[in-house]
Amino acid sequence: MKICRFNHDRIGIIRQQRVYDITPMFHDIPPAHWPTPPVDWMISHFPDIASQLGANWERLENYPLEQVSLNAPVANPGKIVAAPINYRDHIAEANADQQINHGKVYTDISEYGLFLKANSSLCGPNEIIPLPIPGRRTDPEVELAVIIGQRARNLPVDQALEAVFGYAIGIDMTVRGSEFPSFRKSADGFSVLGPWIVTPDEIGDPNTLDLSIRVNGQLRQHSNTRHLIYNVQRLIAYASAMFTLWPGDVIYTGTPSGVSAIQAGDRIEVSIERIGAMSVTIADSVP
């Protein structure tokens, strides 16, 4: 199943290139009250709706996919967790490029842990992303994004995938420099997520997915999640050992080699096998 958020405040299911609006099915669910829990409301309640979908398809309002505006499929993540160096070839290129390492020597994710990105950095497909620091090298990094579907803490590796709601494409935008990653990767628009969430039954093994990124049509990165140092389930378990994971939390799993600079006017296209493709455009600077 492909689940999307579209036209700002609508929830949809994509079938055969059409978006079926399931927003009315959520109307009987009580709204969250302040102080709101650290969860995404739609994702936490989606299991209550899923069982009703089978008999309702023909009655739902629906639209051609190309006529709707897709948004980030998670509206309110409790947190965005990211893996800094989780492909061996990316570690090698980072250590060989002083513009990336700035004097650091990268070894393994087990020594660097994870980092958090600001929730305000979240954006969806087809958006325009401003460069926050003109003159500083900025790179887009394609990544498999994992969306958590249930509360989880201290998960065993062999049970970690049970906590997954679905998968999406992520672009981890990065200003190169010596500052901490959370600072350089948290500008507005720097956590691109989309174009929709694909449920685990349509993905199968998340550790066998081709992923790629093109800038202005030129291939920059191409790899497969089989090359992750910490595979998806190990990464989820690793995160849950430090944080309580909540429905709607997003985990960016890391990027392969091929990172390179972009500039204003560039168009970035990313794709991941069994998920789909999306694009964003780079703007000159923050307005």
Looking at residue 31, its pLDDT comes to: 81
Residues 105 and 26 in one domain: no
Q: Report how far Cα 215 is from the mean position of its chain's Cα atoms.
A: 19
Output the pLDDT for position 34: 85
- Residue 51 and residue 100 in one domain: no
Place of tokens 């003109």: 134
Domain of 190? 80-283
Question: Are 148 and 265 members of one domain?
Answer: yes
Whole-number mean pLDDT of the chain?
A: 95
Pair (237, 263) in one structural domain = yes
> Is the pLDDT confidence value at 58 over 80?
no
Residue 97 has what pLDDT?
85
Same domain flag for 46 and 96: no
pTM, two decimals, is: 0.96
SS (H, E, C) 234-287: HHHHHHHHHCCECCCCEEECCCCCCCCCCCCCCEEEEEECCCEEEEEEEECCCC
Range from 15-19, 99-103, 180-184, 185-189 carrying the lowest mean pLDDT: 99-103
**65 & 101 share domain:** no
In sequence order, what are the beta bridge partners of 82?
Answer: 115, 252
State whether 84 and 201 are in the same domain. yes
What tokens were used for 83?
Answer: 């893996």
In this structure, are 44 and 96 located in the same domain? no
The order of strands in the sheet holding 128-130 is 128-130, 276-283, 267-272, 210-215, 218-224
Are both 127 and 195 inside the same structural domain?
Answer: yes
**What distance in Å separates the CA atoms of residue 169 and residue 189, rounded to the nearest whole number?**
14
Domain boundary among 71, 105, 130: 71
**For residue 287, what pLDDT is reported?**
62
Q: Please tell me the total count of domains within the chain.
A: 2
- pLDDT tens track for 197-254: 999 999 999 999 999 999 999 999 999 999 999 999 999 999 999 999 999 999 999 9
| Residue 286 clears pLDDT 70, i.e. is over it | no
Does residue 279 share a domain with residue 175? yes
- Angle ∠(7,11,15) on CA atoms, nearest 5: 100
Tell me the average pLDDT across 5-17: 95
Q: Residue 25: what are its φ and ψ, rounded to 5°?
A: -70, -15
Domain-terminating residue out of 43, 71, 99: 71
Q: Are residues 154 and 58 in the same domain?
A: no
Distance, CA of 56 to CA of 52 (rounded, Å): 7
Residue 19 is part of a domain; what is its CATH number? 2.30.30.370
User: Do 186 and 65 fall into the same domain?
Assistant: no
Which of 71, 88, 117 is where one domain is finished?
A: 71
Output the domain CATH number for residue 208: 3.90.850.10
